[in-house]
Amino acid sequence: MTDKTDLSDGSFGFETRAIHAGQHPDPSTGAVVTPVYLTSTFVHSAPGEYAGYDYSRAGNPTRAAYEACVANLEGARFGFALASGCLGTTTAMHLLSQGDHVIACDDMYGGTYRLFETVFRRCGLDFSYVDMTDPAALEAALRPETRMVWLETPTNPLMKLIDIAAVAEIAHATGAQVMVDNTFMSPYFQRPIELGADLVLHSTTKYINGHSDLIGGVVITDDEDLAERLDFLNCSMGGIQSTFDTYLCLRSLKTLAIRMQAHADNAMAVARFLEAHPKVAGVAYPGLESHPQHELARRQASGFGGMVSVTLEGGLEAARKMMADVRVFTLAESLGGVESLIEHPGLMTHASLTPEKQAEVGITPGLLRLSVGIETQADLIEDLERALAGV
């Protein structure tokens, strides 16, 4: 049978590795697609002796193939598939100890902020939130007990960019690890480990799976010590992603490249349309030359993604009217699926932040976040134009 081990090699392109890395024809049947091993336990040839797997919480062939593939696409060796992105965050936080200090970007997913403030602060971790677009702000926030720097780039929902390489250099000089939530970009457009990050998180609910039909997360590293500790935590805490859902994510990786390019093409068209509209106060999209960190986007990533934030002149009233009037865009939380979504961060994804915290970060009443899907581009523009006409 043909050996496909070499197709994981970095000399092969992203699209080739997305289809073949970590996957081999089934040795018993020759099946091209990795089977779904819906088994909880595996036979032992003798007590304590088994052929690679003993219990699916500790390891499963379907999950292992997916973990190997997604890690390979991030330029790393070790991946850990979890039941949700929040559980990926939870597992990563268990790498730390009581009294440790975490510096996080000030603009971030509301669910992550909620976890940090209402769960892990009670467990003895301390958190500081800084605008990491300014490296000096990060340096000023460092303490002797700082053990992790946590960032998103682009940030959620304001689409600010953070220089991953610069952050890594500053953090590593003090012994702190860097973890990057790469959900918005996917490994197709951005690979933080290649820029110096120690750990990468994805909510695989989003672009990795891309079809809005499962919940999942993954934590990736190329550090053997971190991988050993994550493996222990994953097995001990039991937060693994289900076998069938890992199969769906593995299936979806095969089309990640073409989906991401379609998302980005449509997002650029949407962003340019919105930027020119008289009822729009501002648009945040890294692909626009008007984005204050456009050059960093070009340097740090190979594309600009499918997320666009827009602020309407008419504030909350205009935002509510627009959300009610769209037809192709769907009013819903989440992102990264093939369908276009629209949501209000202040009332939806970031509602767990107090009004004071929202104002501090820059989440205004007129702010909307768009996850631009892969529908016909002209239909998306027409939908937005018609909805804005009634604002």
Query: For the segment 168-187, what is each residue's pLDDT rounded down to a tens digit?
Result: 999 999 999 999 999 999 99
In this prediction, residue 91 carries a pLDDT of: 98
Three-state SS for 226?
Answer: helix
Same domain as 281, residue 238: no
Span 375-391, pLDDT tens digits: 999 999 999 999 999 99
Q: Based on the fold, state whether residues 227 and 272 are members of the same structural domain.
A: no
Which CATH number belongs to the domain containing residue 264 in this structure? 3.90.1150.10
The secondary structure of residue 115, as a DSSP letter, is H
- The secondary element (H helix, E strand) that includes residue 138 is helix 135-141
Whole-number pLDDT of residue 119: 98
The answer to whether residues 179 and 204 belong to one domain is: yes
Name the burial class of residue 368, with classes exposed (0-12), middle (13-18) and buried (19+) by CB atoms within 10 angstroms of its CB: buried
Residue 2 is predicted with a pLDDT of 46
Q: Report the pLDDT value the prediction gives residue 118, as an integer from 0 to 100.
A: 97
CATH number assigned to the domain comprising residue 85: 3.40.640.10
Segments forming the whole domain that contains residue 276? 258-389
Q: Are residues 84 and 176 in the same domain?
A: yes
- Pick the last residue of a domain from 253, 281, 303: 253
- Written as six digits, the tokens of 357 are 């915290």
Same domain, yes or no: 239 and 264? no
**Do 270 and 167 fall within a single domain?**
no
**DSSP assignment of 50-81, as one string?**
-SS-SBTTT--HHHHHHHHHHHHHTT-SEEEE
Q: Could you tell me if 17 and 47 lie in one domain?
A: yes
Shared domain check, 242 and 314: no
Residue 322, both tokens: 């627009």
Q: Which helix (H) or strand (E) holds 14?
A: helix 14-20
The answer to whether residues 308 and 341 belong to one domain is: yes
Distance CA 126, CA 269 (A): 42
Claim to verify: residue 321 and residue 229 sit in the same structural domain = no
Which of 224, 253, 282 is a domain's end point?
Answer: 253
Calculate mean pLDDT across residues 38-59.
93
pLDDT tens sequence across 68-116: 999 999 999 999 999 999 999 999 999 999 999 999 999 999 999 999 9
> Is the pLDDT reported for residue 287 higher than 60?
yes
Of 253, 282, 314, which closes a domain? 253
Q: Tell me the three state secondary structure of residue 24.
A: coil
CA distance 23 to 69: 8
First to last CA, the chain: 62
CA angle 82, 83, 84 (to 5 degrees): 95
Q: Give the chain's domain count.
A: 2
Do residues 108 and 44 share a domain?
yes
Tokens coding 77: 């060796």
88 residue type, one letter: G
In the block, tokens 């009037």 appear at 325
For residues 78 and 170, membership in a common domain is answered with: yes
The overall average pLDDT reported for the chain is 96
User: Rounded to whole angstroms, what are the CA distances from 227 to 36, 168, 196?
Assistant: 24, 19, 16
Q: Which helix (H) or strand (E) holds 105?
A: strand 101-105
Q: What is the pTM of this model?
A: 0.95
Residue 11 has a pLDDT of 87
- The residues annotated as belonging to the active site are 57, 109, 181, 206
